[in-house]
Amino acid sequence: MGWRAHPRKGAATVVSPVSRDLRHLKFCKSAGLGALISIALGVAVFVVGRHTSAVNAYLFPGVHMAGLVSPAVPTAWVYWIEPEGGPYAFLFLSLVCAAVIWAAVFGSIHYAWARRNRNS
C-alpha cells in the first residue's frame, strides 16, 4: 500500500488495493458480456439466417482457427463428439472456436468503450 497526500486537505490517505481488483472485475464483466453477445449472435445466425451467408460470416474465423487447433485435439475427444469422427467433429470445433473469437472481439470492444467513457 502506498501513501499519498490528499489534494485538498493535506492529510495522508491510503491507496486501496481494491481499485486494482475493480479493473479485474470490469475486465471479467466485459469478457462475460462478450461471451453472451457471441452466443446470442450465433444462435440468431443459425436460427434466422440458416441458409444465408451470415452463417459463413460467423463461422469464417472459427474454421481457420479450428484448422490450427485440430492437431492438438486428442483423438478421444473427436470420437466422443462423433463416434465415426469426421466433419461433424470439425464443425463442432470450428463453432466453438468461432464463439471464442467473437467473444474476444465483442468483449474487447466493450472493455475499450467502457474504459473510454469512464475516463472522459
pLDDT in tens, 50-96: 888 989 999 999 999 999 998 998 888 888 888 887 888 888 999 99
Cα–Cα dist 8/1, whole Å: 21
Q: What are phi and psi of 77, to 5 degrees?
A: -70, -40
What is the percentage of the chain residues whose pLDDT exceeds 70?
81
Find where cell 463461422 sits.
59
Distance from C-alpha of 15 to C-alpha of 13, rounded to nearest angstrom: 7
C-alpha cell of residue 63: 474454421
- The pTM is what? 0.74
- Phi, then psi, of 3 in degrees rounded to 5: -110, 140
Query: How many angstroms from the chain centroid is the CA of residue 89?
Result: 22
Rg of the chain over all Cα atoms, to the nearest angstrom: 22
The residue among 115 and 99 whose pLDDT is bigger is: 99
- Of residues 3 and 22, more confidently modeled: 22
Break the chain into its structural domains and give their ranges: 30-119
